[in-house]
A = this chain, B = another copy of it.
Amino acid sequence: MKLRNLVGDRFKERPADCVIDSHALMVRGGYMKYMANGIYSSYPTLKRITKKIEEIIREEMDLVDGQEVLFPVVLPGTLWEESGRYNSVGAELLRFKDRNGSPLLLGMTHEEAAVHLVREYAQSYAKYPFMIYQIQTKFRDEARPRAGLIRVREFTMKDAYSFHTSQEDLEQYYARCHQAYESIFTRAGIPEVISVASDSGMMGGSISHEFMLLTPVGEDSLALCSECDYKSNIEAAENIVENHNGLPLEELKLVATPDASSISEVATFLQVPTENTCKAVIYQKDQTEEYVVIFLRGDMEVSEAKLTNYLGDNIHPAILDESGPLIAGFIGPYQLGTEQCIILYDQSLAGINSLVCGGNQQDCHYTGFNVLRDVGEVNYIDLSKIQEGGICPHCGKPSITLSRGIEVGNIFQLGTKYSKAMEMQYLDKNGDLHYPIMGCYGIGVGRLAASVCEAHHDEYGPIWPITIAPWQVHLCCLRIDDPQTKEYADQLYEALQREHIEVIYDDRDVRAGVMFSDADLLGVPIRVIVSPRNLQENCVELVTRDKTVNKKVDQSQIIPTTKELINTMLKAIRA
């Protein structure tokens, strides 16, 4: 392909609305075009990359006995009513009606569609286990799309669904898929991806893992143990808090705390550490607007994922006004009218003898509050986020570090949530009916492309791994006004193509600087530069995008040297 014909603009200026590098570079390099909030078109360069990624995914899915299918993008509402998700999923599920008024929705995952496809087929144990997957467009009406292809509304995803007759069989298959995912990320050029325990959220099920690319621009927070191999999304990591009961019991005492409504203001005002305070965080249930009050240690933060899972309901931060029963900034457990609220105690409060807490009246707090003495026996729940230096739930040492990551894939053990809800059953050898056990396995194709770019780029552009690069070789002809140079470059272009090497050929009449900065933005791993000066020495320049190779190669050796370099790069990725 000649660069002069490649559809897509390249430009120098970093777009103002791009907060992360991969987004900026993929806009600047003519990979993607904004159409609407969280909705993009792909230019040919990106399409070449995603096709290669899809092919890697297909190969790995086929290796774990996956069978490719295709589910609809537009699904009938009745199907999601069967699983209960038509109502339980929030506004990110885009629901609408067709010309006849029938409810439809845009698929964001396809568990229901998978069960629908196979529930008649798989009525005998002899059909199990099996796995079906698709690579298809998804739509999730995100409130806040961001970071280019990292969080969009419309995206291409590989989603796979496996069906089993025993938990053991699921677990074995889950482990195979875990390995297949490791292969996929390795082959896509980001072997550094780690898997962490995750929260299963709206998918249902119990055990699940997310595959994370560690990067400061990631939107997920991870808890990693520096002493053992514990790795978890903080939404799924138990927050173990050891309160060494050093404080004496004190008398409960209402004190004035004028203008001090935030916990740090109160702690400063009363000269106590925030660990000795009990703060209140208030949510409301999406459906009923019922208040949910969480009491937790003043230095902790509520995990909304844990809270949602505990309640089984979607929630949003509460809107408090003066007409309601709660006095914002001064809410405490003691003598709080409980009829209209759900009151929950985070386990970070357990074992503290004496706390500062809200006084349930304007400008007042209590000191000396003791949960057992002042409100009685409560059920402590894990509702807060683990923190830097926190206790590892696996090895018990205070060795948790927090990192940020981009989720590039996830795998779930779903159990029987969907098969039960949708009445999918099979007969075992003895003629007894059972619900099959399911697993599901997702990878976002565009997000993976962007993540590779985020992991491998410099200030000038992406540095694509050879396996997913849009082309293998970028051929630059400097000085096409020189007939000999142009002729040699043209011939080399043909010769490289004859060897089935994927070449993008720049034979434009532009300055070397323009040529090279365009090449940087396309990020092709191997650059071959033909110029009058090199040809005088019977040479061609060979440079890699990652700058590890930069040499002159004799004209007679350029084809074998290029092929060898491609092979070396491929081997390095497989290793």
Interface residues of A (CB under 8 A from B): 4-9, 30, 33, 35-37, 39-44, 46-48, 50-51, 65, 67-76, 78-79, 91-92, 94, 96-99, 102, 104, 106, 113, 116-118, 120-122, 126, 130, 132, 136-137, 139, 141, 143, 153-154, 156
Closest-by-CB residue of B relative to A112 is B35
A137-B136, A141-B99 as given contacts; A35 in contact with B67, CB under 8 Å: no
Complex CA gap A47/B47 in Å reads 21
Question: A44 contacts B72, CB within 8 Å?
Answer: no
A36-B102, A102-B36, A113-B35 as given contacts; A69 in contact with B44, CB under 8 Å: yes
* Interchain CB contact (< 8 A) of A7 among B37, B39, B47, B69: B69
Q: Min CB distance, A68 to chain B, in Å?
A: 5
A41-B113, A41-B116, A116-B41 as given contacts; A47 in contact with B68, CB under 8 Å: yes
Complex CA gap A43/B113 in Å reads 12
Contacts of A79 in B (CB 8 A): 35-36
Question: B5 contacts A130, CB within 8 Å?
Answer: yes
A96-B96, A137-B136 as given contacts; A121 in contact with B72, CB under 8 Å: no
- 15 A–B contacts, CB within 8 A, in A order: A7-B122, A33-B116, A33-B117, A36-B75, A36-B104, A39-B76, A41-B70, A41-B71, A73-B154, A74-B106, A91-B99, A94-B98, A96-B97, A136-B137, A137-B137
Question: A65 contacts B7, CB within 8 Å?
Answer: no
Contacts of A70 in B (CB 8 A): 41-42, 46-47, 50, 156
Complex CA gap A357/B137 in Å reads 57
**What DSSP secondary structure best describes chain A's contact surface?**
mixed
A70-B41, A73-B137, A76-B36 as given contacts; A7 in contact with B154, CB under 8 Å: no
Contacts of A75 in B (CB 8 A): 35-36, 39
Question: B69 contacts A130, CB within 8 Å?
Answer: no
Question: A43 contacts B69, CB within 8 Å?
Answer: yes
Contacts of A98 in B (CB 8 A): 94, 141, 153
Contacts of A91 in B (CB 8 A): 99
Known pairs A36-B75, A36-B76 / 11 extra A-B pairs, C-beta < 8 Å: A5-B67, A5-B130, A35-B113, A36-B72, A36-B78, A36-B104, A41-B69, A41-B71, A41-B117, A74-B106, A136-B137
Complex CA gap A39/B96 in Å reads 16
Complex CA gap A132/B120 in Å reads 41
Question: A139 contacts B73, CB within 8 Å?
Answer: yes
Complex CA gap A9/B71 in Å reads 16
Contacts of A130 in B (CB 8 A): 5, 7
Contacts of A121 in B (CB 8 A): 7-9, 30
Closest-by-CB residue of B relative to A126 is B4
Closest-by-CB residue of B relative to A76 is B36
Closest-by-CB residue of B relative to A6 is B67
Question: A69 contacts B42, CB within 8 Å?
Answer: yes
Closest-by-CB residue of B relative to A117 is B41
Closest-by-CB residue of B relative to A106 is B74
Contacts of A42 in B (CB 8 A): 69-70
Complex CA gap A51/B48 in Å reads 17
Question: A7 contacts B99, CB within 8 Å?
Answer: no
Contacts of A99 in B (CB 8 A): 91-92, 94, 141, 143
Question: B35 contacts A116, CB within 8 Å?
Answer: yes
Contacts of A141 in B (CB 8 A): 98-99
